Amino acid sequence: MHFLDQAKIFIRSGAGGPGAVSFRREKFIEYGGPDGGNGGKGGDIIFEAVQGLNTLIDFRYTQHFRAPRGKGGSGSNRTGPGGDDLVIRVPVGTQLISDEDRETVLADFVEPGQQQVFLRGGDGGRGNASYKTSTNRAPRQHGPGWPGDEMWVWLRLKLLADAGLVGLPNAGKSTFINGVSNAKAKVGDYPFTTTRPQLGVVSHRDREFVVADIPGLIEGAADGAGIGDRFLGHIERCRVLLHLVDATGDDPIEAYRIVREELIAYGNGLEDKPEVLALNKIDAIDAKTKTKLLKALKKESGVEPFLLSGATGEGLPAVLDALVEAIGPAGPSPESVQTSEADEETPWSPL
């Protein structure tokens, strides 16, 4: 399954049906009179958040959504049938963004089953029976029906997870999420093996929570360097961040500093989220280097880092304990998360 977290779509609610022009022609009823019914209401555009989806890829191939219009009225004061509502199903965590500025949030779907009538269908036109007055006994005018609304909107998906993984490329995030959850993230000895967000469900000490892994950040990501910061939106809803620092890197302290600066540059509250800091890949360094890096990282961050090896599992229980404590008692239901294998090709491109 390909991953897509942004899509632009066109939506149009149904127009109302026209009112009818009709006159009674019934036996034994003298004079008759107008009896044209009203037109039916057009269908609404309704968005619904559903479980089991974690991509907007379907909207890459279907971009236009039009609700049917109402039917016309008929004689004997019969109102025309209304157009069926068009329900557009989106993943939980989807936001509807204005096409004008691509910033204004028009709707936010954060719970499974959440529905919202986004565009209301037009009302049906009046039949000629409704125009009858004491001075206009045989009206022939009727209403054509009100038009529906239409607009372009952007869909933006922000995955729901309890904990988010951040770090430079090749910091060991994919190895970590594979080791603690049911995810199957791609692992390689080169940067940017993760090209799209990954979700995994972690079971630890009779507790389940969801972890999100996003592509690694590099210096200047907030300005578009590398993959940029476009995937940081997927951890905006996380309760805690797990910051992994590669102990085998050229300068682990600078690596920590770069990621923190990119989180601050991105904003949206990421820099203020609780953070669990871990020095990863400690199985690949000697004890002296480990002690030196631990002391320097503690001085730079102001917190006590955890020692971790995602490959061997060393230090995993302590890190998971810290995440559970930071997450607290409530979180998204793991049943609503659908994990999928990484795609071989670059998973997104501008629409």
Q: What is the pLDDT along the chain (351 residues), one digit of tens a residue?
A: 466 788 999 999 999 999 999 998 777 777 778 999 999 999 999 999 998 787 898 898 899 999 999 999 999 899 999 999 999 999 998 999 999 888 899 999 989 999 999 999 999 999 999 999 989 988 999 999 999 999 999 999 887 788 888 888 888 888 888 888 776 655 555 444 555 677 788 888 888 888 888 776 666 555 555 555 667 777 888 889 999 999 988 899 999 998 898 888 888 788 888 999 999 999 888 889 999 999 999 999 899 999 998 888 889 999 999 999 998 875 444 444 444 433 333 333 333
**Residues 6 or more apart whose Cβ sits within 8 Å of residue 272:** none
Residues 152 and 229 in one domain: no
350, part of any domain? no
274, part of any domain? yes
Structural domains of the chain, count: 2
Residues 235 and 143 in one domain: no
**CATH number for 295:** 3.40.50.300
Q: Among 132, 157, 182, give the residue marking a domain's end.
A: 157
Return the pLDDT at 209.
Answer: 87
Residues 140 and 177 in one domain: no
349, part of any domain? no
Residues tagged in the binding site annotation for GTP: 167-174, 213-216, 280-283, 309-311
Residues 130 and 186 in one domain: no
Residues 171 and 133 in one domain: no
345, part of any domain? no
CB count, 10 Å around CB of 90? 22
Which strands form 306-307's sheet, in the order they lie side by side? 198-203, 208-213, 163-166, 240-246, 275-280, 306-307
**CATH number for 128:** 2.70.210.12
Residues tagged in the binding site annotation: 167-174, 194, 213-216, 280-283, 309-311
344, part of any domain? no
Residues 171 and 149 in one domain: no
306, part of any domain? yes
Residues tagged in the binding site annotation for Mg(2+): 174, 194
Q: Say how many Å lie between the first and final Cα of the chain, rounded.
A: 18
Distance of alpha carbon 328 from alpha carbon 10, whole angstroms = 40
Residues 146 and 169 in one domain: no
DSSP 12-77: EPPPPPPPP--B---TT-SS--B-PPPPPPPPPEEEEEETT----THHHH--EEEPPPPPP-BTTT
Q: Among 126, 157, 188, give the residue marking a domain's end.
A: 157
347, part of any domain? no
Distance of alpha carbon 250 from alpha carbon 270, whole angstroms = 26
Torsion over CA: 305, 249, 182, 5 (sign): positive
12, part of any domain? yes
Q: Among 131, 157, 183, give the residue marking a domain's end.
A: 157
Residues 283 and 209 in one domain: yes
Domain encompassing residue 62: 1-157
Residues 216 and 327 in one domain: yes
pTM recorded for the entire structure: 0.72
Residues 110 and 209 in one domain: no
Residues 22 and 150 in one domain: yes
Residues 52 and 72 in one domain: yes
Return the pLDDT at 8.
Answer: 95
